[in-house]
Amino acid sequence: MLRARSTLEAHLYMDSHPCECGSADFGRLHRLVQGGEGSVAVYEGPCRACGRDRILAFLMADESPPPLAFGGPEPSRIIDPGEFAEVGHSVCRRAGLDMLNSPESEHHRYRAAMAYGLAAFEEVPKFIPPGADAVPASAFTSEAGRAYYESEPAKFDRDILEMDIDLSRAILADIDTVSPPPGRSGPQD
Domain residue extents for the chain: 2-60, 81-178
**Per-residue pLDDT averaged across 163-172, rounded?**
97
pLDDT number for residue 189: 44
Better pLDDT: 157 or 27: 157
8 A C-beta contact, residue 47 and residue 14: no
Decide if pLDDT at 115 tops 70.
yes
Range scoring the smallest mean pLDDT among 90-94, 129-133, 178-182: 178-182
Instruction: Tell me, rounded to whole angstroms, the distance of Cα 145 from its chain centroid.
Output: 13
**Per-residue pLDDT averaged across 96-120, rounded?**
95
Give the tens place of pLDDT for each residue, 49-59: 999 999 999 99
Q: What is the pTM of this model?
A: 0.91
Decide if pLDDT at 18 tops 80.
yes
Angle at 188 between CA 187 and CA 189, to 5 degrees: 120
**Per-residue pLDDT averaged across 106-126, rounded?**
96
pLDDT number for residue 66: 87
Burial of 169 (0-12, 13-18, 19+ CB in 10 A): middle
Q: How confident is the model at residue 61 (pLDDT cuts 50, 70, 90)?
A: very high
Alpha-carbon gap, residue 59 to 100, rounded angstroms: 41
